[in-house]
Every structure is written in C-alpha cells, then in structure tokens.
A and B are shown apart, each in its own frame.
Chain A
C-alpha cells in the first residue's frame, strides 16, 4: 500500500525580475509582465509505500525542499497531483507559530493546532512532550527567554509526539546537542518500527545511511537516482563531484621544481571511480626540475573534507633508495590498504629539497579520491571486525 503517490508532479516558478507588490507596478507591467520561468521540479512520479523511510538527497537548489513543500501541500504543483493516505505532519519548521510572549505551555497548544491536532489530544500527550523536550522547569516561562536550543527542542518534542501516519522532515534532525540528536534519531527509529512513513530531506549522506531504507537524489530539479541508500549516496556524490570539478583551481607553479601531474589508482579504477574500505591505493607524483634535487622529501597528507588530516607522512626519499631527482620522472607511492570509511579525501603534497630552500613545490586540494562503504558501519576508520560470539 502506498502512503504517498507523487503522480507526474512538476513545479515551475515565475521569477519576476522586480517583484511586483503594488497596483501601480502591476498596471504598468500588465500584458508584458517580465518574468523568467524557472523549472524547480521536472515532471516526476514516485510512490512511497507505507512504512518506508525515504531520504531525499540533493545539494542546495536541487529542488528537494520544493518537492517536500509540494507533497505537504504548501505549494501547488504546476502539473500532476499528490495522493496521501493518513495524517501528515510536516516539519519544515520547528516551532511553527510560536509567539515569543507566550509561555512554552501556551505555545505547545498553538503549535499543535497548526499541525492540525486537537486540544484534547495534546492534553493527553502534554506530559510526554514536556518530558521529551527536557524543559519541565521552563514550560511556564515565555519562550522569548528560551535559548535557541530550547526553542527547537520544544518544537521537535511537539512534532514527534503527535502520532502522524506520514512525517515529512526537512533538515531538522540536526537540532540541539549531541544527546538530543540521538534522542531524535531514536524517536525516528521508533516511528519506523511502528510502521509509519517518513520522508527526510537532507544533504547529509550520513543521516540517509543511518535511517533510510530507500533514497532518491535530485539534481537541478531532476530525479537522477532512486534506490538503496548506498547507491543513491554514490550517485549524489558523483553529481556533487561533477559540479566541483568545474571550479578546480589553475596551476600557478613557476618555480624551478614542479609537480606536473598526480595520478591516483586503485585496482579497479577502470570500472569505478571510488574505492571500497581496505582496498589498496597508489599515488603517482610526476615532477619536472631544472636543477638536481639532492635531498628530496615528499610529504603526503590525506585530508577529510572538513580539512582534518586523517594521515600525514614526510617521506625521506633517499632513505627509500631514491638518492636524487633530476630532469623529470614519477614517484610512485603505494598504500597496500586504505582502511577508511565513507568520504571524499583530498591530497596535500609537498616536494622539497632539505638542503635547498628554493627547490620546493606544494600542491593542495587538487587531487582526491573517494571511499564508499557498501556496509553499514559509520564513522571514519574501517576497523576490521572478527567473528562475534557469545558465551554463556
């Protein structure tokens, strides 16, 4: 049974060059109203069966929030229609309708009313809401005295205690501190066990991997992938990749020593761009030099996207049997295993002569590789698991 059927939905926005908000402008621009059409969603169909947790991945402007707004009924689709089964709660904003002057208690009732929940029902759940939000001491304080964390906690607490059949969530799972986030995720898992349908919009692949059974990827309003979270995340990364490559910086090295090329190989580079945890990786650094490099050192750092070094090493090349560098050539650095989990990693390379400060060259952020984890483990390092056993 399908909880949500998206039937040939598309959305086209009319973008007015100057938003018209007055009668005068409206009259003046009548007939030749200037606007561009912007296709936020290309026609797409989708059915989401009851009890599924679907992730919608996409970068900014991919149309993922528009899709959610159309499904929840905030925006009218340009074509097609939406069919829903059961009660829908949409969490595009936490604490909708909160008024700063009113107390937490009063705001809970108003917020719930916006979500279509009756007063009676809220009265029944009020204690659960307060307990979940951990705000029992402050519930009768005006929310203007709340910190932003307390504010979203209360908003989330109302939303997840409302017993919806279909829950639409937009980037709101990342609220509050770590403890509260875990609590939110636990509640989402509980919803899943109760057979509710959840749609999560995010650009955090990690959330999708953690909670979703199915994921779709949107890119410039087009549905580009629909399938298992792992596959969708891979396609999402590739699309993100595509947009980043266009913006790669130009080579500006003009010194006597140059890094002319860097190639990254793994045993199956021919068939796929990414490697899986634990696979080997080879980095080839090609150089060209006008002078002989007497005491060459190659420094390699592997950085995560957040800029943190997950691995860094200064390779003293003479100790590896490469006494000097002259003319041009290629240094091959093989890693027999890369025990990293998901992510894109960039290389930061330094080629220097320990005796001659003029002979130095750096190459940062231009070379990268990606690891995609087909398994369920999360985090940074791919630790190897033995056989799990139990003793009575």
Chain B
C-alpha cells in the first residue's frame, strides 16, 4: 500500500491536470466561465431571502443559516456522486492506459473542492455586503473542518468508486442515500432541535453527531452564522470552540480509518478494473 501511495504522489500532476480539465470543460463556451460557480450561492441567497420574507422564517437571517449548511453539503453530494461513477465513466482509459486509478475519484474530489472554495468566496462577499458579523474567534476551525471533510470524502470516494465497478447499483443507491443524508444533517433545521427531540425520546442528545458531516456543518454554522442563538431560540449547543474541535477530531480519526480502508480496497481491486469493465 505504501508503494501505492507513492505511485499516486508520482502522478500528482495528472491529478492536477484532470482537475483543471474538469473545470475547463465545465465552463468551456460560456462567457462568464467560473463566475457561474460564484453566482449560484448569491442567487440562492436572494431566492431564499425573498421566499422566507413572504413565508416567515423560523429565525433571523435564516437564508444565511441555510447557506452555511448548504454550501458544505453541496461539496459532499457532488463529490460522492461524481466520484462513484468516475472509474466506470473512464472505461476507455482504464482498459488502455496504465496509471494509478485512484487519481480518477480523487480528481472529482479536487474539482468539487475548487468549486467549494469559489462558492465560499462569493458567500464571503455577500456577507460583507449585507454586513453580517461572523464569529472571528471560531474562524480557525474552518480550515480544520475542510481538511477533515476532504479526507473523509477521499476515503468514501475510493470505496464507492470500487463498489460501482462491480455493481452499478451503487450509483443509484447513492442518489437515494444522498437525499436521506441531506435530511440527516441539520441544514434546514437546527442542531438543537434534533438534540432536544432525541432527549425527549430518552436517548442521548449527541446522537445526531453520529453523522460525521453534522460536526462539519455545525462548525460552519457556528462560525459564519456567528452565534449559537437567534433571539430566544437556541440553535446550537451553548458550548465553546473546544466542543467543535473535539467533534472534528473524532471525525478526523474516522476519516483516516476510512482513507486507509479506501486505499486498501482500491489497491486490492484496481488490478482487476480493466478486466471487469
């Protein structure tokens, strides 16, 4: 496996090339190009603001709360769905050209990360324009959250891409799983509401944290939304940065395990890809 990792490292330029290729192809023949990546969150924010000003939102600045969860979630869902099909979609290459196949799912993660960074930049600009205060004492948690997410996604991508070579059901199952996972994350609702509900059922309140993406999304919300409360309403637990750091660390441990598992499975299977496809 160490050989394998070294080989992927050797092909890092291919990884870089594939990420560039994916981004270039996505915005080829469009005038605005990568600006489209940035337009999306701004547009969503506008639509949500309009919609919730009519419907009446649960709490203040609800559209911003929504985007704090939605942008990281988009990273997760696009990475997983494109990485799953990445090996199968490149059959021609896999059966004709020798290169470490892990580059294919990792490249989809890379391009989703670039997309994510652009969206966050656009979101940042909007936050400045509407003069929404973020919590600067939490901001150092964001790079950690992003790193942990990337590692987690890398491990999951390797596993899913391998499974999909052997059974194409994986990609269809994943579509359904992503819908369910969206609602398993406190994006539209608030973390505290889920925690309180679980406690009401006589279950421990930390149960939502079993979903590793919850730790990531709550970190983004606490930092960018900037507060754990909206008026009278408790949105997130009344805790310090250390609670978030602890959660992210646990997710990090899980991510490392998943990456090792992913590399192990991929390593075992990739020699057969050209044959099975």
Who on chain B is nearest to A21 by CB? B168
Q: Interface extent on A, as a size class?
A: 20 to 34
Q: Is A116 an interface residue (CB 8 A)?
A: yes
Query: How many of B's residues come within 8 Å of A, CB to CB?
Result: 28
A142 to B28, CA, bound (A): 10
Q: Which of B50-92 contact A (CB under 8 A)?
A: 92
Q: Is A90 an interface residue (CB 8 A)?
A: yes
Who on chain B is nearest to A122 by CB? B13
Which residues from B are CB-within-8-Å of A72? 98
Render A88-129 as a binary contact track against B, CB cut-off 8 A, 1 for contact: 101011001101011000100110011111110000000000
Who on chain B is nearest to A92 by CB? B96
Nearest CB of B to A79, in Å: 13
Contact A93 B96 (CB under 8 A): yes
Render B236-277 as a binary contact track against A, CB cut-off 8 A, 1 for contact: 000000000000000000000000000000000001101100
Contact B98 A90 (CB under 8 A): yes
Contact A116 B96 (CB under 8 A): no
A118 to B14, CA, bound (A): 8
Contact A93 B92 (CB under 8 A): yes
| Interface locus among B18-26, B144-152, B184-192, B215-223 | B18-26
Contact A75 B274 (CB under 8 A): yes
Nearest CB of B to A114, in Å: 5
Nearest CB of A to B252, in Å: 30
A75 to B98, CA, bound (A): 9
Nearest CB of A to B244, in Å: 38
Render A177-214 as a binary contact track against B, CB cut-off 8 A, 1 for contact: 00000000000000000000000000000000000000
A113 to B15, CA, bound (A): 8
Nearest CB of A to B233, in Å: 44
Q: Is B166 an interface residue (CB 8 A)?
A: yes
| Interface locus among A22-30, A46-54, A295-303, A354-362 | A22-30
Which residues from A are CB-within-8-Å of B168? 21-22
Contact A116 B10 (CB under 8 A): yes
Who on chain A is nearest to B168 by CB? A21
Q: Is A335 an interface residue (CB 8 A)?
A: no
Q: Is B167 an interface residue (CB 8 A)?
A: yes
Who on chain A is nearest to B167 by CB? A23
Nearest CB of B to A238, in Å: 31
Q: When the two chains form the complex, which single residue of B14, B169, B272 contacts A114, counting CB atoms closer than 8 Å?
A: B14
Contact A75 B21 (CB under 8 A): no
Nearest CB of B to A122, in Å: 9
Which residues from B are CB-within-8-Å of A116? 10-11, 14, 99
Contact A119 B96 (CB under 8 A): no
With contact pairs A69-B274, A110-B18 given, residues A93 and B166 touching in the complex (Cβ less than 8 Å):
no
Which residues from B are CB-within-8-Å of A92? 96-97
With contact pairs A22-B168, A23-B169, A113-B14 given, residues A75 and B275 touching in the complex (Cβ less than 8 Å):
yes
Q: When the two chains form the complex, which single residue of A75, A97, A119 contacts B97, counting CB atoms closer than 8 Å?
A: A97
Q: When the two chains form the complex, which single residue of A76, A96, A102, A117 contacts B25, counting CB atoms closer than 8 Å?
A: A102
A119 to B98, CA, bound (A): 18
A117 to B97, CA, bound (A): 13
Nearest CB of B to A15, in Å: 10
A117 to B96, CA, bound (A): 17
Who on chain A is nearest to B96 by CB? A93
Contact A74 B167 (CB under 8 A): no
Q: Is B40 an interface residue (CB 8 A)?
A: no
A116 to B93, CA, bound (A): 14
Q: Is B204 an interface residue (CB 8 A)?
A: no
Q: Is A256 an interface residue (CB 8 A)?
A: no
Q: Is B95 an interface residue (CB 8 A)?
A: yes
A76 to B270, CA, bound (A): 9
Q: Is B33 an interface residue (CB 8 A)?
A: no
Who on chain B is nearest to A107 by CB? B21
With contact pairs A109-B17, A116-B10 given, residues A22 and B97 touching in the complex (Cβ less than 8 Å):
no
Contact B24 A113 (CB under 8 A): no
Nearest CB of A to B199, in Å: 38
Contact A118 B13 (CB under 8 A): yes
Contact B169 A74 (CB under 8 A): no
Contact B14 A99 (CB under 8 A): no
With contact pairs A96-B97, A106-B24, A114-B93 given, residues A24 and B13 touching in the complex (Cβ less than 8 Å):
no
With contact pairs A73-B98, A90-B97, A96-B93 given, residues A101 and B13 touching in the complex (Cβ less than 8 Å):
no
A114 to B15, CA, bound (A): 9
With contact pairs A109-B17, A110-B18 given, residues A26 and B96 touching in the complex (Cβ less than 8 Å):
no
- Select the residue from A90, A114, A142 with max chain B CB neighbours within 10 A: A114
Nearest CB of B to A68, in Å: 11
- Select the residue from A20, A101, A117 with max chain B CB neighbours within 10 A: A101
Nearest CB of A to B144, in Å: 31
A113 to B16, CA, bound (A): 9
Nearest CB of A to B136, in Å: 38
Nearest CB of B to A369, in Å: 40
Nearest CB of A to B184, in Å: 23
Nearest CB of A to B162, in Å: 14
Nearest CB of B to A262, in Å: 46
Who on chain A is nearest to B164 by CB? A21
Contact B167 A21 (CB under 8 A): yes
Nearest CB of B to A356, in Å: 62
Q: A113-B18, A116-B10 are in contact. List 12 more A-B contacts (CB 8 A).
A: A22-B168, A72-B98, A73-B98, A74-B94, A74-B98, A76-B271, A90-B98, A92-B97, A93-B97, A101-B28, A110-B18, A110-B21
Question: Residues on A close to B: CB < 8 A?
Answer: 13, 20-24, 26, 69, 72-76, 88, 90, 92-93, 96-97, 99, 101-102, 106, 109-110, 113-119, 142
Question: Residues on B close to A: CB < 8 A?
Answer: 10-11, 13-14, 16-18, 21, 24-25, 28-29, 92-99, 166-169, 271-272, 274-275
- Interchain Cβ contacts under 8 Å between A and B, 28 examples: A21-B168, A22-B168, A23-B167, A23-B169, A26-B167, A73-B98, A74-B94, A74-B95, A75-B271, A75-B274, A75-B275, A76-B275, A90-B97, A93-B96, A96-B93, A97-B97, A99-B21, A101-B24, A101-B28, A102-B24, A102-B28, A110-B21, A113-B14, A114-B14, A114-B93, A119-B13, A119-B17, A142-B28
